[in-house]
């Protein structure tokens, strides 16, 4: 494989702005009495030239990144109805609290005695998550949802081994996120897929017949990725537990049920929470996230360590390192602490009443939008949904040659970010829509209007959809070419990799 | 405050459109017997001013590096973060956007990450960089996966002089895949690899956790002679002065990118750097941005080689990573553009100068010595006459933070790390050493 020279990018890479001798940085000037690198380090280790970084002025770089940012959609630009992503408003106060120097300038090797506020925050956040999930204890080390999944499965693995019952398989519904099967393999297990039944729910009989003493457990998202609540969860839990298995809750869709029903009360043994979804830490264009894992009391000994604890006698917080059955560390330090500060800020702002409102209005918004669209588009499964719903463009494709991707791209022209498309895999031409609770009825009406206009265009003039988007900074991009002519770094025009 | 915009009238109209009487009706699929049936025991809600004051009080309970002069290292460093970096990377278009699955609306994040990947290739001496992983530990763990997949082997020889927390992460995450981690001793500050036959990889730090510079070229020869890959955990700040690991023969270069414009944040969010040679591109974890053209032939960026990833390949994916640390990669992209080649070199010079001054002065304190003879970059191991952890506590009372203490390593209870970034001054170094002298006296 070789890499081709960069196409001449219109706004280009910052390297295209580079002029030898220009600079933005100011470094404290050399003080008398300081040894030089030449005196301190062996000559053989020193390089002659510096790495090729861009040479730009401060204004060059501020303009470059400002102009780049203007080519990006964000929650603060407009609605972002991506299913399963929970793109709600990220309150501004979170950035202020996370930036307090007592948090942002706290060094991770500082001992607990210097970090009492941070340990107190993690400890209190754990109490909040335990109450919300109905679990016993939690760890904040996992840096994102997938890291939480792996941590949870390793806890399940350690538990089964401690029981003297190593098992080799984990059950996953066919509607699951891709991280579930990928994680199962990393945890050393085999995947067995459970089909979705005609109602869009996990096939209970299939779970029953797949469960055995060899199955470590079942990973489930509830509500599932079709936006439907797994109403037979009690029976599913019974089927899993009766064979000694454990039930894993993928928290991707927790936004639908906060304060209404708790994973622990449904029978789940392990839960991960996507704080960058439900508890609205900003998604940063793809991260950082935070994926704490909460467990029931029988799994508590296996949580990653250390965990903050409170010495009731002295009122001081300390790191509990004495956890002999712990699966060990899963992060270089304590996880994405800065995101925990933001999520904590959110939870104490909302309180119990706010959290209850959150789920109610997320579900209200999704059902309202569904009701506006389901006469024109088809829902994958008719009836009430939870916080999201899945439409299918199957009919439009068959009758007018218009695909879910075309509809998605045309929405861009109408001023909206598209929904999640082609997921879940069990629905043909899927469009998965999650408006979240922070969008107003007026925004939902405008979004519905855009969808309805597109459906009309699909009949009258499908070419408009095939050619969309036309109002975005670039047109549809050639992903196949990006693979075929791999170019993942800037190179001077005319040079190869 | 719950940030929801609904008026009573909105709710009534919406329920009417849905065809139900109450919001409660929407939850009818949830079995009654399993429901909470009460409000969560959380208290609140609180006004924004109450929330701010509460968080302010919690933050004030910490004695962070705004109040202690920081000489601590060990994988997290107190470098200055320029205002232009905070302003650019803090733009809400970067901060409040999702993963760029719709590239037409994501050219900003994709372009910034493409630049990041380009700069990481320059720093590491590698041919292809990913868009960033959770942290240095996660990047190292993923490098082990790559090496095992590339060689079909399970044994990994890991230098003892790797961040002990990273090693614990390797141990926790490697068990389920039956990796065999063998520790190569570093009793003299640099690693003695010994027998590496049948290894998938050799793992070494440059500089290593003790701050010492290793013979990377020799490690590469040893690894390649045994059919193993060389994984180097490097310090991005060091390569303004030092040869890049790629030039010295590394196959995979990983590192912690916190130092590239990201706050200390008590350990996260940080940035895992991951770069390798093109021959391993299809075994890489996580997202990679590539250049392409749109339907009109205009240039643009997309996520590429996606068939490696979990959302396409599911259980056959190279990694389970989905959400990563993109905003930290954008930040590093801006920071490295700010720094430029001259800045990187000058910054490295100043780190070396201040750290060596600290070592010279500390080595003259009674009962103290610089533990290892090997050359070092911006931190070193100082051996004290007594327990290092206790000395660090006493030093903090004087307003200085150093460390960590190194009791995680056998026989090193009296040792600690001392690091200096470009933010420190000669006067601060002299004062800190003076303080340390009083503490151990």
Residues of A in contact with B352 (CB under 8 A): 35-37, 40-41
Nearby residues of A410 by Cβ (< 8 Å), 6 or more positions away: A454, A457, A464, A465, A468, A469
In angstroms, what separates the C-alpha of B234 from chain A's closest C-alpha? Answer: 14
Q: What is the mean pLDDT of residues A322-343?
A: 97
In angstroms, what separates the C-alpha of B32 from chain A's closest C-alpha? Answer: 9
Point out the residue among A9, A103, A132 whose CB comes nearest to the CB of B59: A103
B104·A409 Cβ contact <8 A: yes
pLDDT of residue A8: 39
pLDDT of residue A11: 64
Distance between CA atoms of A94 and A80, rounded to whole angstroms?
Answer: 20
Sort strands B252-256 and B272-276 into parallel, antiparallel or unpaired: antiparallel
Query: Is there a contact between B206 and B188 (Cβ–Cβ < 8 Å)?
Result: no
- Residue A6's pLDDT band, with cuts at 50, 70 and 90, is very low
B243·A45 Cβ contact <8 A: yes
Distance between CA atoms of A7 and A60, rounded to whole angstroms?
Answer: 21
Residues of A in contact with B331 (CB under 8 A): none
Closest alpha carbon within chain B to A87: B98
Q: What is the pLDDT of residues A133-142, one digit of tens each?
A: 999 999 999 9
Distance between CA atoms of A12 and B363, rounded to whole angstroms?
Answer: 51
Distance between CA atoms of A20 and A11, rounded to whole angstroms?
Answer: 19
A 433-472: CB under 8 A from B: 437-441, 467, 469, 472
Mean pLDDT by groups of 10 residues along chain B of 441 residues: 94 98 97 96 94 98 98 98 98 97 96 98 98 98 98 98 98 96 97 96 98 98 98 98 97 98 98 98 97 96 92 89 96 98 97 97 97 97 97 97 97 97 97 97 89
Q: What is the mean pLDDT of residues A86-104?
A: 98
A283·B323 Cβ contact <8 A: yes
B59·A97 Cβ contact <8 A: yes
pLDDT of residue A236: 98
Residues of B in contact with A135 (CB under 8 A): none
As to burial, measured by CB atoms within 10 angstroms (0-12 exposed, 13-18 middle, 19+ buried), residue B296 is: exposed
pLDDT of residue B70: 98
Q: What angle do CA A154, A157, A159 make, to 5 degrees?
A: 110
Is A376 in CB contact (< 8 Å) with chain B? no
Sort strands A215-220 and A307-311 into parallel, antiparallel or unpaired: unpaired
In this structure, how many other beta carbons lie within 10 angstroms of the beta carbon of residue A186?
21
Which of A284, A387, A439, A466 is best to mutate for the B interface (most B CBs within 10 A)?
A: A284
A146·B322 Cβ contact <8 A: yes
B323·A47 Cβ contact <8 A: no
- Residue A12's pLDDT band, with cuts at 50, 70 and 90, is confident
Point out the residue among A51, A88, A285 whose CB comes nearest to the CB of B327: A285
- Helix or strand or coil: residue B71? strand
Which of B241, B269, B375, B395 is best to mutate for the A interface (most A CBs within 10 A)?
A: B269
Closest CA to B220 of B246, B238, B242: B246
- Helix or strand or coil: residue B302? strand
Q: What is the pLDDT of residues A219-257, one digit of tens each?
A: 999 999 999 999 999 999 999 999 999 999 999 999 999
As to burial, measured by CB atoms within 10 angstroms (0-12 exposed, 13-18 middle, 19+ buried), residue B424 is: buried
Distance between CA atoms of B431 and A66, rounded to whole angstroms?
Answer: 42
Distance between CA atoms of A303 and A324, rounded to whole angstroms?
Answer: 10
Give the gyration radius of chain B's Cα atoms. Answer: 25
Closest alpha carbon within chain B to A436: B4
What value does the mean pLDDT of chain A take?
A: 95
pLDDT of residue A7: 41
A328, A334, A339, A342: CA torsion to nearest 10: 120
Query: Is there a contact between A380 and B23 (Cβ–Cβ < 8 Å)?
Result: no
In angstroms, what separates the C-alpha of A398 from chain B's closest C-alpha? Answer: 24
B76·A107 Cβ contact <8 A: yes
* CATH of region B83-334: 3.40.640.10
pLDDT of residue A2: 43
In angstroms, what separates the C-alpha of B433 from chain A's closest C-alpha? Answer: 15
pTM: 0.97
Distance between CA atoms of A182 and B321, rounded to whole angstroms?
Answer: 9
Sort strands A215-220 and A270-272 into parallel, antiparallel or unpaired: unpaired
Residues of B in contact with A266 (CB under 8 A): 34
* H helical segments located in B152-290: 164-174, 216-225
B176·A97 Cβ contact <8 A: no
* pLDDT above 50 for A4: no
Segment (H or E) for B147: helix B136-151
Query: Is there a contact between B78 and B70 (Cβ–Cβ < 8 Å)?
Result: yes
Question: DSSP string of B382-424?
Answer: EE-SS-HHHHHHHHHHTTEEEE-B-TTSTT-TTEEEEE--TT-
Distance between CA atoms of A455 and B195, rounded to whole angstroms?
Answer: 67
Least confident of A2-6, A402-406, B155-159: A2-6
Strand order in B155-159's β-sheet? B128-129, B272-276, B252-256, B229-234, B199-206, B155-159, B180-184
Residue extents of the structural domains in chain B:
1-36, 69-80+340-440, 83-334
Distance between CA atoms of B190 and B307, rounded to whole angstroms?
Answer: 40
Q: What is the pLDDT of residues A287-302, one digit of tens each?
A: 999 999 999 999 999 9
Is A200 in CB contact (< 8 Å) with chain B? no
Nearby residues of B57 by Cβ (< 8 Å), 6 or more positions away: A117
A261·B6 Cβ contact <8 A: no
Q: What is the pLDDT of residues B97-117, one digit of tens each?
A: 999 999 999 999 999 999 999
Which residues make beta-bridge pairs with A389? Answer: A433
* pLDDT above 80 for A5: no
Point out the residue among B106, B176, B326 whose CB comes nearest to the CB of A187: B176
ipTM above 0.85, yes or no: yes
Point out the residue among B26, B87, B131 whose CB comes nearest to the CB of A384: B26
pLDDT of residue A9: 43
Closest alpha carbon within chain B to A83: B98
Closest alpha carbon within chain B to A46: B242
Q: What is the mean pLDDT of residues A204-216?
A: 98
Residues of A in contact with B404 (CB under 8 A): 109
Query: Is there a contact between B201 and B220 (Cβ–Cβ < 8 Å)?
Result: no
CATH class assigned to B69-80+340-440: alpha beta
In angstroms, what separates the C-alpha of B133 from chain A's closest C-alpha? Answer: 9
In angstroms, what separates the C-alpha of A315 from chain B's closest C-alpha? Answer: 13
């Amino acid at each position: 494989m070789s890499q081709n020279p960069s196409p001449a990018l219109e706004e280009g890479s910052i390297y295209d702005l580079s002029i030898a001798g220009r600079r933005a940085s100011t470094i404290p000037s050399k003080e008398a009495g300081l040894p030089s690198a030449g005196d301190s380090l062996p000559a053989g280790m020193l390089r002659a030239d510096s790495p090729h970084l861009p040479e730009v002025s401060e204004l060059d770089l501020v303009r470059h990144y400002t102009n780049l940012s203007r080519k990006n959609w964000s929650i603060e630009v407009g609605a972002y109805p991506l299913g399963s992503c929970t793109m709600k408003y990220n309150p501004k106060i979170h950035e202020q609290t996370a930036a307090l120097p007592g948090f942002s300038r706290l060094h991770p090797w500082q001992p607990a005695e210097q970090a009492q506020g941070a340990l107190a925050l993690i400890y209190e956040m754990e109490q909040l998550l335990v109450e919300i999930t109905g679990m016993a204890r939690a760890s904040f080390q996992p840096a994102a949802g997938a890291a939480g999944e792996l941590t949870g499965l390793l806890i399940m693995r350690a538990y089964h081994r401690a029981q003297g019952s190593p098992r080799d398989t984990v059950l996953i519904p066919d509607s699951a996120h891709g991280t579930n099967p990928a994680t199962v393999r990393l945890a050393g297990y085999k995947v067995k897929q459970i089909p979705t039944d005609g109602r869009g729910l996990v096939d209970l009989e299939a779970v029953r017949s797949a469960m055995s003493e060899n199955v470590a457990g079942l990973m489930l998202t509830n509500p599932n990725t079709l936006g439907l609540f797994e109403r037979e969860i009690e029976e599913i839990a019974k089927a899993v537990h009766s064979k000694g298995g454990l039930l894993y809750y993928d928290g991707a869709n927790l936004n639908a049920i906060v304060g209404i029903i708790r994973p622990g009360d449904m029978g789940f043994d392990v839960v991960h929470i996507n704080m960058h979804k439900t508890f609205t830490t900003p998604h940063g264009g793809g991260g950082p996230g935070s994926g704490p894992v909460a467990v029931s009391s029988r799994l508590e000994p296996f949580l990653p360590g250390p965990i903050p604890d409170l010495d009731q006698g002295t009122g001081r917080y300390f790191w509990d390192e004495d956890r002999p059955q712990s699966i060990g560390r899963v992060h270089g330090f304590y996880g994405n602490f800065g995101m925990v500060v933001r999520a904590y800020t959110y939870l104490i702002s909302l309180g119990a009443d706010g959290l209850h409102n959150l789920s109610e209005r997320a579900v209200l918004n999704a059902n309202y939008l569904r009701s506006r669209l389901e006469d024109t588009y088809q829902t994958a499964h008719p009836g009430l949904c939870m916080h999201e719903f899945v439409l299918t463009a199957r009919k439009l494709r068959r009758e007018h040659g218009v695909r879910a991707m075309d509809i998605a791209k045309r929405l861009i022209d109408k001023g909206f970010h598209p929904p999640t498309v082609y997921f879940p895999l069990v629905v043909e031409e899927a469009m998965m829509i999650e408006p979240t609770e922070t969008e107003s009825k007026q925004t939902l009406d405008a979004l519905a209007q855009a969808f309805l206009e597109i459906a009309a265009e699909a009949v009258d003039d499908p070419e408009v959809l095939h050619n969309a988007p036309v109002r975005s900074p670039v047109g549809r991009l050639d992903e196949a070419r990006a693979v075929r002519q791999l170019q993942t770094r800037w190179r001077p025009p005319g040079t190869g990799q | 405050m719950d940030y929801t915009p609904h008026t009573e009238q909105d709710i009534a109209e919406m329920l009417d459109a849905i065809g139900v009487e109450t919001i409660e009706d929407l939850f009818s699929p949830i079995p009654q017997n399993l429901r909470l049936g009460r409000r969560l025991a959380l208290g609140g809600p609180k006004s924004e001013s109450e929330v701010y004051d509460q968080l302010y009080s919690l933050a004030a309970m910490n004695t962070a590096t705004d109040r202690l002069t920081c000489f601590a290292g060990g994988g997290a460093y107190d470098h200055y973060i320029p205002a232009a970096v905070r302003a650019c990377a803090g733009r809400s278009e970067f901060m409040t956007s999702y993963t760029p699955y719709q590239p037409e609306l994501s050219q900003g994040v994709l372009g910034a990450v493409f630049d990041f990947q380009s700069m990481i290739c320059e720093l590491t001496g590698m041919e292809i960089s990913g868009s960033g992983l959770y942290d240095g530990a996660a990047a190292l763990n993923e490098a082990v996966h790559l090496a095992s997949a590339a060689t079909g082997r399970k044994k990994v020889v890991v230098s003892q002089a790797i961040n002990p927390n990273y090693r614990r992460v390797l141990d926790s995450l490697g068990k389920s895949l039956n990796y065999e981690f063998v520790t190569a001793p570093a009793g003299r500050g640099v690693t003695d690899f010994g027998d590496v036959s049948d290894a998938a990889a050799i793992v070494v730090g440059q500089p290593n956790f003790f701050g010492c510079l290793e013979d990377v070229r020799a490690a590469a020869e040893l690894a390649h002679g045994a059919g193993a890959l060389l994984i180097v955990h490097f310090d991005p700040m060091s390569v303004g002065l030092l040869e890049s690991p790629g030039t010295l023969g590394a196959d995979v270069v990983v590192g912690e990118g916190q130092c590239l414009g990201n706050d200390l944040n008590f350990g996260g969010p940080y940035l895992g750097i991951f770069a390798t040679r093109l021959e391993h591109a299809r075994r890489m974890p996580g997202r990679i941005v590539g250049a392409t053209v749109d339907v009109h032939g205009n240039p643009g960026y997309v996520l590429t080689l996606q068939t490696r990833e979990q959302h396409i390949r599911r259980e056959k994916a190279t990694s389970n990573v989905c959400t990563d640390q993109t905003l930290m990669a954008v930040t590093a992209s801006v920071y490295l553009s700010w720094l430029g080649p001259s800045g990187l070199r000058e910054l490295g010079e100043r780190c070396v100068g201040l750290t060596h001054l600290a070592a010279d002065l500390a080595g003259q304190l009674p009962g103290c010595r610089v533990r290892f003879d090997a050359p070092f970059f911006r931190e070193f191991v100082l051996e004290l006459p007594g327990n290092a952890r206790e000395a660090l506590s006493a030093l903090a009372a004087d307003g200085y933070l150093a460390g960590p203490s190194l009791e995680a390593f056998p026989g090193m209870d009296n040792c600690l790390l001392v690091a200096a970034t470009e933010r420190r001054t000669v006067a601060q170094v002299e004062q800190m050493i003076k303080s340390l002298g009083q503490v151990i006296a």
